[in-house]
């Protein structure tokens, strides 16, 4: 498995983005809070920059106003010539790419941590793009070790061959926090505190790394997206049923062949026709209805993450 090069210098330029989706309230209100009072984001070797990623959508308390910002960081959108009727989020993605990127360039931020909520029962979920992102996976491991009593799953969202499209992909390194269940437009104190603590722990990890800490190799368990599964549909394209009560809220649990997946309005059940167990995630996420996704089918995998070597000592200035 090929790996991204690990950082060989301290991470100085770090950003925490909230409100990439304007109705995912933990990140919206953490970003707003830190923009007023950024003290919590300071560490001895760096200060993370808070960013309210989609201010217009946050003001309207909607996921987006023109198109989904977090699907807009592809080279097609970032490099196309700006035209007057570009959706707001296309313009905003280019602004964020100038601020935090440019994507895939040496001038990009060292790390972007992007904050999300889901209506699905996913608990604390850490989203990295792919298993070759060693630095992000060590960060995930660090977060898992902070509260070993609470499940904290790692989800690898990138489908094979798919270009990265999320805001954190404009930085050299990044990942997302996904906390649920929380309804769109609702700010739950428990989720808010938990996300705040996770961000603090992530910044602590970066500080440890910057200070010269080495992190040993380990074996990681993660869930990797395999395919997206749509709702049952009537002839006119509208829903013909919804997620079955036996699947609802069972994110990350194995779905066995023959188990019910959907309940039709007619009362009939639709059964899972796969040949072996899969692991559904983002089950019945509100924002995915319009994308034609009832859940994301994932596979559970275990893989080896190589050690993250300590940074070389900083050169001592000449006497």
Residues that bind its own copies (CB under 8 A): 29, 32-33, 61-62, 119, 181-190, 192-193, 238-239, 241-245, 248, 263, 265, 284-287, 289-290
Q: What region, left, alpha or beta, does residue 62 occupy, with left being phi > 0 and alpha being psi -120 to 50 degrees? A: beta
Q: How far is the CB of 318 from its own copies (least distance, A)?
A: 46
Q: How far is the CB of 263 from its own copies (least distance, A)?
A: 5
Q: How far is the CB of 186 from its own copies (least distance, A)?
A: 5
CA dist 287 and 290 (Å) reads 7
Cα 271 off chain centre by: 30
CA dist 35 and 15 (Å) reads 12
Cβ distance to its own copies smaller for residue 99 or 264: 264
Rg for the chain (alpha carbons), in Å? 20
Q: How far is the CB of 199 from its own copies (least distance, A)?
A: 14
- Please name the residue ranges forming H helices in the chain: 25-36, 55-60, 75-79, 88-100, 134-146, 189-210
Q: How far is the CB of 190 from its own copies (least distance, A)?
A: 5
CA quadruple 160, 99, 37, 47: dihedral sign: positive
Cβ distance to its own copies smaller for residue 35 or 145: 35
CA dist 296 and 223 (Å) reads 11
Q: How far is the CB of 103 from its own copies (least distance, A)?
A: 31
Cβ distance to its own copies smaller for residue 25 or 308: 25
Cβ distance to its own copies smaller for residue 8 or 36: 36
Antiparallel, parallel or unpaired: β 123-128 and 174-180: antiparallel
Cβ distance to its own copies smaller for residue 9 or 190: 190
Cβ distance to its own copies smaller for residue 93 or 255: 255
Q: List C-alpha distances in Å: 170 to 75, 95, 228, 251, 265.
A: 10, 11, 24, 29, 43
């Amino acid at each position: 498995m090929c790996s991204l090069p690990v950082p060989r210098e301290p991470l100085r330029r770090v950003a925490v983005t909230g409100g990439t989706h304007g109705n995912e309230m933990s990140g919206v209100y953490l970003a707003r809070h830190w923009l007023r009072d950024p003290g919590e984001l300071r560490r001895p070797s760096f200060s993370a920059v808070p960013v309210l990623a989609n201010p217009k959508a946050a003001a309207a308390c909607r996921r987006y106003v023109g198109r989904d910002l977090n699907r807009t960081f592809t080279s097609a959108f970032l490099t196309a010539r700006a035209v007057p009727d570009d959706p707001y989020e296309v313009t905003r993605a280019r602004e964020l790419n100038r601020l935090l990127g440019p994507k895939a360039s040496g001038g990009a931020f060292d790390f972007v941590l992007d904050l999300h909520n889901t209506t699905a029962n996913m608990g604390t979920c850490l989203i990295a793009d792919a298993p070759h992102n060693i630095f992000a996976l060590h960060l995930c491991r660090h977060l898992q070790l902070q509260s070993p009593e609470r499940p904290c799953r790692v989800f690898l969202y990138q489908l094979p061959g798919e270009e990265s499209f999320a805001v954190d992909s404009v930085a050299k390194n990044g990942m997302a926090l996904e906390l649920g269940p929380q309804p769109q437009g609702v700010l739950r104190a428990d989720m808010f505190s938990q996300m705040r603590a996770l961000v603090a722990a992530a910044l602590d990890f970066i500080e440890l790394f910057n200070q010269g800490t080495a992190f040993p190799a380990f074996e990681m368990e993660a869930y990797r997206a395999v395919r997206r599964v749509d709702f049952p549909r009537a002839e006119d394209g509208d829903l013909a049923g919804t997620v079955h009560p036996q699947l609802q809220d069972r994110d990350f649990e194995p779905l066995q062949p023959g188990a019910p997946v959907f309940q039709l309005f007619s009362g009939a059940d639709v059964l899972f026709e796969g040949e072996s167990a899969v692991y559904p995630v983002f089950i019945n996420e509100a924002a995915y209805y319009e994308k034609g996704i009832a859940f994301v089918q994932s596979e559970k995998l275990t893989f080896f993450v190589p050690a993250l070597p300590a940074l070389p000592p900083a050169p001592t200035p000449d006497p």
